[in-house]
Structure 1
Amino acid sequence: MSLNLRIFRYTTACVVIGIGSSLLSASVVVYTYTAGQLVKIPLSIDAATVSTGTAELLDIAALANGKLLVEPTVPITVSQRVSVQDPSNSEVVTLQSAVQMLRDDRSGTAAIVNASIDLLTVDRTSGIALADPPGSIQTDMDRPAETVVHEGFQFKFPFATEKKSYPYFDTTLRASYDADFVGESDLEGVRIYQFRQEIEPVAIGSKFTLPASNWGRDGTDPVTMTRFYGITRDLSIEPVSGAIVQVQQHYKQYFGTSVDDPKAITIVDVAPRLDAATQHEQLERAITYRNLIQWGTVYGPLIGVFGGLLLVIGGIYLARKASRVDMRIESVENRKSVELISQ
């Protein structure tokens, strides 16, 4: 073998090993970088959702005028829009949620059952609400928002959601309560985790005193009622992204002299669920983000590692093969030298 050919083989082997080693190093760097960039809540959120259902509603205006009227089957639509506000940067994002529940059988202001604007800042990596800056909740559009410190999760679950309980914030009670893992299922062919949050009825707001007849009770003496609230949330989570792809909330408020008053009067009892179009949109967003995360943090780096290992192994093989050829050539040349000397 000529000297130039041997040099070429050794050089090729070294280059292949070098490329493989670089690819292995790059895979680690890519994983570290993409994990830091992709496993974060994006700053471009602007999402609208629609939930529908049928509600049992109390006519508050009629009650104040001495008439007790509870409508049993009122069609309702709940619209929510979540958008990014300031302050938002590489570490935190501030999210605003504007929610409005409308009854579909009325128009204008008469259609509004309730409305609120919720503002909170969360850590972009963990998704957990931050105490600084504090958030706010506005339930009366004629009054300024109230400062409220949020806790736990609200608009999404953490990346790489696990099968365990998570604190989930309730805007009515302004506190977090556990959402418990209850199982796995498929939604439009996508694997999801199911969580449930159950909050037993508790007293909220002010007490109301009206004549007994206004409450549909016997007599004319004044009766004081307390407003109670309870809710059950069923949340469907795409576990890689932590995205909420479906939610049904059985929301109930009622007036009663006690939490278990048998003559309680329903204020609102409704279980809206994301409609089919919204569910599909939520799933598409979750799948897109899930795939980005998996390719950036799992598949891409793994391909780089395997490719790098193959190149390193291939380079070592080429080097050893070239070395064995050199040894054979050297052995042959030595034998020829011995033969010449013996002659």
Structure 2
Amino acid sequence: MNRAVMLRIAACGILGLGAALLVAALLLTTYTAGKIKKIPLNIDTTLVSNGTGTALDPASLSEQHFVIDRNVPLVSQQQLSVETPANADVVTLQVGTTIRRTDKQQDNGLMLAMVDSVTLNRSTAMAVSDDTHPGGAVQKPRSIEDTKPPTNIALTHDGLSYRFPFSTEKKTYPYFDPIAQKAFDANYEGEEDVNGLTTYRFKQNVGYDADGKLVEPLKYASLYDDAEDGVVTARASLWGLPGDPDEPITMTRFYAAQRTFWVDPVSGTIVKAEERANHYYARDGLKPEFALVDYTVTSTEQTVENQVAAARDERDRVALWSRVLPITFTAAGLVALVAGALLGSFSVRAESALIDPGLDGANVGGFFRRDEDTGPMPAAEAATEKLPAQRPDLHPDPGPPDR
């Protein structure tokens, strides 16, 4: 195999590599990027928020009247983990939420507890539900002494839950409230920097208007069979109401909330959250009479740092597959195509020179022989001139005659 053929084979190989790199860049941009913009399957995190509020003293339930404490320290904790089904298309999040008074110990400090499960589309972050698959469930409340396995109550979910979609847009999204058991709008309000990360801020109102005024509270959706915590009848003295202390007074439990989310628009991760929630009893929903718990909590600094770090990791992963690698492959592919084309041109000229060394010097002579107009040849290569040989004198001159 001569040198020209080897050059041609190398040129074809480099051209093929360049074309493959360009195709790979196109696939990464159009196909692979869409496949990686999905909710991760390894979520296992704890979100903590703290603040203050007005809350019932649980110990007073067995005393002469209920006691309401003000400005008590409260902490909200959410434990997120992944359960089945979880596959290429969907992910199921199980979220245990508690609200506790930190100035009380054990059960005396627990104000609210709920375990919510929801199956989400990994691409859109929307709940997956239909007539036969509700897309979620909540655990039925049980006492501390209850040793039986928890029982799930099917609960149809819709909208977003616990996160926003990749490539979050500046628009209104439906966001599910498991306490109200329905979705409410989360409205885009603007951009805000959170620990160096540009986020979108969304606000959701449940029973409140945009100014924080109670306008349409919801009756609490009890999880007990007899709705024992939804409607309560007690003596007026227990409620702390004036009049006949023994008069039975029936009150209904109501609920309202306001939430603000700071969302990383690339990954949809909620990096910070603020929640104002009000659980109270009243005879008229717009006139709260007895506070169960009314609080405002905000994500702790540690939680914000962890969520920002998680969002950055997702950003880096998306950027690697949708921007860094496509750009790198495109640049390398173009360089390979140019190099292959130049090498191919060189191989054609070399092969032509080998086939016909006598072709016009302007075309092929410069590769394998000296051009005719390059000047005098070196002495060793110059043509030797043949000088005529001197013939022998067959008749020498006899000279002058003797005298």
Query: Shorter-normalised TM-score: what interval?
Result: 0.7 to 0.9
Partner-residue secondary structure (3-state), 1:272: strand
- Aligned partner letter, 2:361: V
Name the CA distance, whole Å, in 2 between partners of 1:289 and 1:333.
Answer: 59
Instruction: Report the equivalent of 2:377.
Output: none
Structure 1 alignment gaps of length 5 or more: none
Query: What is the aligned partner in structure 2 of residue 217 from structure 1?
Result: 241
Aligned CA-pair RMSD: 2.9
Contact 1:115 1:139 in 2 (8 A): no
1:163 counterpart residue number: 170
Q: Is the 8 A contact 2:57 2:108 kept in 1?
A: no
Q: Which runs of 5+ in 2 are unaligned?
A: 144-149, 208-216, 222-229, 366-371, 373-403
- Residue in structure 2 matched with residue 230 of structure 1 by the alignment: 256
Name the structure 2 match of 1:267.
Answer: 292
1:251 paired with 2:251, answer no
Counterpart residue type for residue 142 of structure 2: M
Change (3 A) 1:286 1:229: same
Please give the alpha-carbon distance, in whole angstroms, between the structure 1 residues aligned to 2:14 and 2:61.
Answer: 83
Q: Specify the SS of the correspondent of 2:303.
A: helix
The match for 2:197 is: 190
CA distance in 2, matches of 1:191, 1:321: 53
Partner of 2:232: 208
Alpha-carbon contact 2:349-2:364 (below 8 Å) kept? no
The match for 1:71 is: 69
Cα drift, residue 124 of structure 1? 2.1
Counterpart of 1:306 (choices 319, 331, 335) is 331
Q: Residue 40 in 1 paired to residue 38 in 2?
A: yes
C-alpha deviation, 1:292, in angstroms = 0.6
Q: Residues 136-165 of structure 1: CA distance to partner in whole angstroms, max 9, x if unpaired?
A: 112512473321011111121111111111
Per-residue deviation, 1:187:
1.0
Partner Cα distance (2:65, 2:155) in 1 = 36
| CA distance in 2 between partners of 1:284 and 1:335 (Å) | 63
**Aligned-partner Cα distance in 2 for 1:126–1:317:** 47
The aligned length equals 334
Q: Distance in 2 between matches of 1:32 and 1:199?
A: 39
**Residues 51, 73 of structure 2: 8 Å contact kept:** yes
Higher helix residue share = 1
Paired AA for residue 173 in structure 1? A
> Which of 171-180 and 139-148 deviates more?
139-148
Question: Which residue in 2 is equivalent to 1:125?
Answer: 123
- Matched residues, percent identical? 32
Provide the C-alpha distance between the structure 2 equivalents of 1:294 and 1:334, rounded to a whole number of angstroms.
49
Higher percent of residues as strand = 1
Amino acid at match of 1:281: N
CA distance in structure 2 between the aligned counterparts of 1:276 and 1:8, rounded to whole angstroms: 64
Three-state SS of the structure 1 residue aligned to 2:170 is coil
Deviation at 1:335, TM superposition (A): 12
Offset of 1:250 from its aligned partner? Answer: 0.7
SS in 1 for 2:15: helix
Amino acid at match of 2:323: V
- Residue 225 of structure 1 deviates from its aligned partner by 2.4
Residue 16 of structure 2 corresponds to: 18
Could you tell me which residue of structure 1 aligns to residue 50 of structure 2? 52
How far apart are the structure 2 equivalents of 1:53 and 1:330? 91
1:199-251: CA deviation from partner (whole Å, max 9, x where unpaired)? 11222253333344443333224443222211111111111111111111111
Q: How does 1:322-333 map to 2 (within 5 A)?
A: 330-332=359-361
TM superposition score normalised by structure 2: 0.74
- Cα deviation for residue 29 of structure 1 reads 3.7
TM-score of the pair, normalised by structure 1: 0.86
Compared CA separation, residues 75 and 124, structure 1 to 2 (3 A): same
Equivalent in 283, 290, 293 of residue 315 of structure 2: 290
Q: After TM superposition, give the deviation of residue 197 of structure 1 in Å.
A: 0.6
